[in-house]
Amino acid sequence: MHSSPSTRRTRSVRLALAAILIGVFAFIGAGPAASTSANGGDRPTIVLVHGSFADASGFNEVIERLQARGYATVAPPNPLRGLTSDAAYIRSVLEGIGGPIVLVAHSYGGAVVTNAATGNPNVKALVYINGFAPAEGELLNDLVYKFPGSLLTPENLTIRPYPATDPAALGLEAYINADVFREVFAADVDRHTTAVMAATQRPIDLATLQQPSGPPAWATIPSWFIIGTNDNTIPPALHRFMAERAGAVRTVEVRASHAVMISKPRVVVRVILEAARSQASS
């Protein structure tokens, strides 16, 4: 008995889907090993976590330079929907990577990795790029205004409601107003680029500012800090305070805005490589 053309087509589609699923599961299973071998054994994978009002594309030039030196890199999307849930997501990304990790974070991403890396033995170094490094129990809303100088003020922000995951809750997300975006976020980046950055910025849920941070990864993992001395988003005085409190291995100050990984990628790469080589020799 011969099957009809439509039956054969259906069977072919099912076989193709099965092959795809087998490939996906094989890829997932091979993920950690692939990460390790891509870096030549004990070389760390560099994981870069972006902050608010931005996305992973802010690391593009940094990633290109790291890849040119043979380092595997991963730049996952930071959900920006709550410190606890964002940290849980990034933690799941880290758990899928085999071998040593150097974890790099910008801005709010620093608070996320401070929570996500705690207890993960594969994370060998933390690099904070103008990033928050909260202590246990601290709220970002209190920390950002601990020292004067931040331009993340109500008049420079637009707050919009959005449908939150919890139907009983009203989500509120913040954007930096386009007319002040460059001054607040990236004053040393050209106007054409910052205009695009302002238009494509990813908002952050205000709930992130009110959620207490957990036990900090920097208490047990060596840290490096890069401080933009012209940062108008997070005051440099706060960066220095957090770096000293964390017992940073090294703190590098550079004349740059909050978006130092865009305006000074060579400096950022140099510090990341120092952290990577330090963990390799330890």
- Cα gap 28→141, rounded to integer Å: 38
d(CA 103, CA 153): 29
Taking only the tens place, the pLDDT of each residue in 57-106 is 999 999 999 999 999 999 999 999 999 999 999 999 999 999 999 999 99
Q: Please, which pLDDT band fits residue 281 given cuts at 50, 70 and 90?
A: low
Instruction: Quickly state the pLDDT bin for 218 (edges 50, 70, 90).
Output: very high
Average pLDDT, the chain: 88
Candidates 3.40.50.2300, 3.90.420.10, 3.40.50.10470, 3.40.50.1820; CATH matching 42-281: 3.40.50.1820
- Give tens-digit pLDDT for 129-176: 999 999 999 999 999 999 999 999 999 999 999 987 766 667 999 999
Q: Where are the domains of the chain?
A: 1-38, 42-281
| Per-residue pLDDT, 279 | 72
pLDDT at 282: 58
Question: Distance between CA 241 and CA 229 in Å, rounded?
Answer: 13
Contact 50, 75 (CB under 8 A): yes
